């Protein structure tokens, strides 16, 4: 099967029909290959159509009201967990963890004046992981009854024992002291699932209407809401009840000039967030002024305002100057740089990938253990300090505890330009000579096995006062890039090429106009060593993705990447214009 999509792109839907639920995306290569059995099968939507649509819908379709019901409280879940822990221990497990998970999704799809689809989905079940005879075993069931759970735990142990026979070395699990009975909730103000559907439709219709009024030929808009209600218990003595919320508003505006046979698109510059519906409040206090009337959105998004700008900018792109290829100083907006951080820092520092476990899928990593051990590998310039952080407010990867019961923390990956650490979980961290897991273990559903997933990985802001406007003033020949465009990186994370949504030419400290056909190519180490300036904390904001793919069968995870606007000198820019 085509196992090639790693970072799952923003969907750009070409057409969607509510009656048949047929959904296709603009670029069919950008497919999400994930575990096919997880896709909800909507009427008329074949497996193939779902896969090519790239929408990871997990669970069964249901009503919006049903999503607000609670099937079990924490006391019941503790009881259920204890049944699993006892059953596994009595069969010989030396370690057990239980995840009782309820995963809710609400996705809205619209195009121009039409609502095309509203999906409400729920998935509920339990996953049990054990160590027996030094080997992992995992089993999952949707039968969340006492009998179902006990049987599931026994199966997990039986599988571990069977497989212990062919294992060469036992699992070394970093210790984790039990945390007792605790709860953690994403600090939301408005639960998106409680907001009436009509209010959401009204917003999207306004977004589409304003875009059309301002020159868009076509517009699609979407709202994605996710709520993970996860109960984790382990034989370490942890009973962790978590309620995690995520939101992602997005759209694509298309301008068309039929006479010239040309079209241009502009995607939303929103960011998916670990927030409630309050992200859509569009607070003025969370707006960051950029050059040319551009606005950066921090922790509050004005979707209608962005749609109006998008329509105008898509039209402007039609007549923008095609970029002359060459070396430019790049000024990269956080909504663009986030993806570059994700691909060139986040993935290469996943320890399982470094060790070769992902060799047949996304590949390995240039950031080998010898480079880390040397203690002086210059990943970037001294301006580059990149942190892994599971505690960052409003970020997608932020939780209280990971999916193996480890409290969230922050640690350095790159300190003052030097590679200092990786991302590792309980059964990996001994390889790094550490005694505690980093706490970045995640499973995308109750029926999938938890494994190492990328925490929020962010570039720290510069210490000196510097705004984006000041940064541009210092650039003689450069390009200011906003938003996430085309992106591609090799299987060891050396060579990459990135596009964007908006490109502005900088000449002698000023923006002189829009550019088109821009993509930059670089090498990870060269690129981060060309980092000369980072704006201060007032410019800091996050970029994110709901659907980062990893593993076979593939699982998704949500992750944010924060940064301030950053300058890179002398980067190679190519012209992507072609005639066919």
| Binding to other proteins in span 105-164, by CB under 8 A | 114-116, 118, 129, 135-143, 148, 151-152, 155-156, 159-160, 162-163
Confirm or reject binding of residue 354 to other proteins (CB under 8 A): yes
Nearest distance in Å: CB 310, other proteins: 15
Confirm or reject binding of residue 267 to other proteins (CB under 8 A): no
> How many angstroms separate the CA atoms of 562 and 396, rounded?
11
Nearest distance in Å: CB 554, other proteins: 10
Q: Which stretch binds other proteins (CB under 8 A): 21-29, 231-239, 291-299, 504-512?
A: 21-29
What is the three-class DSSP state of 572? Answer: strand
* Tokens coding 210: 């304003």
Answer whether 566's CB lies under 8 Å from 533's CB. Answer: yes
Q: Which stretch binds other proteins (CB under 8 A): 187-195, 251-259, 312-320, 464-472?
A: 251-259
Among 146, 262, 473, 507, binds other proteins (CB under 8 A): 262
Confirm or reject binding of residue 530 to other proteins (CB under 8 A): no
Confirm or reject binding of residue 357 to other proteins (CB under 8 A): yes
* Tokens coding 382: 């001294």
Angle at 470 (CA atoms; ends 468, 535), nearest 5 degrees: 45
Q: Which is nearer to other proteins, 9 or 461 (CB)?
A: 9
| Strand-pair category, 321-322 with 510-516 | parallel
Contacts 24+ apart (CB under 8 A), 464-467: 464/536, 465/536, 466/533, 466/534, 466/535, 466/536, 466/539, 467/535, 467/536, 467/538, 467/539
Among 263, 283, 295, 299, binds other proteins (CB under 8 A): 263
Answer whether 302's CB lies under 8 Å from 288's CB. Answer: no
Nearest distance in Å: CB 74, other proteins: 25
Cα distance from N-terminal residue to C-terminal residue, the chain:
30
Confirm or reject binding of residue 74 to other proteins (CB under 8 A): no
> How many angstroms separate the CA atoms of 571 and 573, rounded?
6
Nearest distance in Å: CB 78, other proteins: 23
Nearest distance in Å: CB 3, other proteins: 6
Instruction: Tell me, residue by residue from 319 to 348, as one string, x for binding to other proteins by CB under 8 A and - for no binding.
Output: ------------------------------
Instruction: Tell me, residue by residue from 459 to 488, as one string, x for binding to other proteins by CB under 8 A and - for no binding.
Output: ---------------------------xxx
Q: Which is nearer to other proteins, 381 or 575 (CB)?
A: 575
Q: Which stretch binds other proteins (CB under 8 A): 308-316, 389-397, 398-406, 493-501?
A: 493-501
Among 299, 430, 530, 569, binds other proteins (CB under 8 A): 430
Nearest distance in Å: CB 338, other proteins: 16
In sequence order, what E strands does 385-509 have?
386-389, 410-415, 418-419, 441-442, 451-452, 456-459, 477-482, 487-489, 495-498, 502-507
Nearest distance in Å: CB 551, other proteins: 8
Considering only residues 203 through 242, tell me which ones interact with other proteins, judged by CB under 8 A: 217-218
Q: Which is nearer to other proteins, 189 or 359 (CB)?
A: 359
Nearest to 269 by CA among 219, 329, 320, 309: 309
In sequence order, what E strands does 477-526 have?
477-482, 487-489, 495-498, 502-507, 510-516, 518-523
Answer whether 522's CB lies under 8 Å from 489's CB. Answer: no
């Amino acid at each position: 099967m085509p196992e090639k999509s790693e970072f799952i792109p923003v969907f750009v839907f070409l057409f969607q029909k509510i009656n048949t639920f047929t959904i296709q995306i603009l670029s069919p290569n950008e497919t999400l290959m994930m575990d096919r059995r997880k896709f909800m099968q909507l009427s008329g939507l074949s497996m193939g159509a779902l896969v090519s649509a790239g929408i990871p819908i997990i669970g069964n379709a249901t009503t919006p009201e049903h999503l607000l019901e609670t099937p079990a409280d924490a006391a019941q879940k503790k009881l259920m967990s204890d049944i699993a822990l006892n059953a596994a221990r009595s069969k010989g497990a030396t370690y057990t963890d239980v995840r009782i998970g309820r995963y809710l999704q609400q996705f809205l799809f619209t195009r121009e004046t039409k609502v095309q689809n509203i999906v409400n989905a729920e998935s509920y079940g339990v996953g049990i992981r054990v160590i027996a005879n030094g080997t992992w075993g995992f089993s999952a069931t949707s039968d969340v009854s006492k009998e179902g759970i006990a049987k599931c735990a026994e199966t997990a142990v039986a599988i571990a024992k069977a497989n212990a026979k062919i294992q060469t070395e036992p699992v070394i699990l970093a210790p984790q002291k039990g945390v007792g009975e605790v709860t953690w909730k994403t600090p939301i103000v408005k639960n998106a699932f409680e907001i009436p559907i009509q209010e959401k439709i009204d917003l999207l219709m306004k977004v589409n209407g304003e875009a059309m009024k301002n020159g868009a030929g076509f517009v699609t808009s979407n709202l994605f809401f996710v709520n993970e209600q996860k109960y984790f218990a382990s034989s370490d003595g942890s009973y962790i009840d978590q309620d995690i919320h995520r939101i992602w508003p997005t759209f694509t505006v298309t301008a068309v000039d039929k006479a010239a046979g040309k079209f241009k698109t502009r995607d939303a510059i929103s960011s998916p967030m670990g927030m409630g519906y309050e992200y859509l409040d569009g607070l003025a206090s969370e707006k960051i002024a950029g050059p040319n009337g551009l606005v950066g959105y921090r922790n509050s998004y004005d979707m209608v305002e962005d749609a109006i700008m998008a329509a105008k900018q898509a039209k402007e792109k039609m007549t923008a100057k095609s970029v002359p290829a060459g070396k430019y100083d790049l000024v990269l907006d956080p909504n663009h740089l986030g993806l570059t951080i994700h691909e060139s820092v986040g993935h290469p520092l996943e320890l399982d990938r470094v060790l070769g476990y992902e060799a047949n899928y996304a590949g390995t990593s240039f950031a080998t253990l010898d480079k880390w051990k040397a203690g002086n590998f210059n990943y970037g310039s001294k301006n580059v300090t990149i942190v892994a952080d599971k505690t960052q407010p409003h970020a997608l990867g932020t939780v209280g505890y990971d999916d193996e019961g480890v409290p969230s923390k922050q640690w350095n990956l790159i300190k003052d330009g030097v590679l200092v650490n990786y991302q590792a979980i309980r059964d990996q961290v001994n390889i790094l000579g550490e005694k505690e897991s980093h706490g970045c273990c995640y499973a995308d559903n109750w029926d999938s096995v938890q494994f190492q997933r990328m925490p929020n990985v962010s570039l720290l802001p510069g210490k000196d006062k510097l705004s984006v406007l000041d940064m541009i003033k210092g650039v003689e020949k450069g390009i200011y890039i906003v938003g996430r465009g085309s992106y591609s990186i090799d299987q060891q994370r050396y060579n990459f090429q990135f596009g964007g949504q908006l490109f502005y030419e900088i000449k002698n400290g000023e923006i002189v106009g829009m550019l088109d056909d821009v993509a930059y190519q670089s090498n990870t180490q060269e690129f981060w060593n060309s980092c000369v300036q980072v704006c201060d904390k007032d410019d800091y904001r996050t970029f994110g993705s709901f659907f980062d793919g990893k593993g076979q069968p593939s699982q998704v995870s949500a992750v944010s990447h924060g940064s301030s606007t950053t300058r890179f000198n002398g980067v190679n820019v190519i012209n992507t214009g072609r005639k066919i």
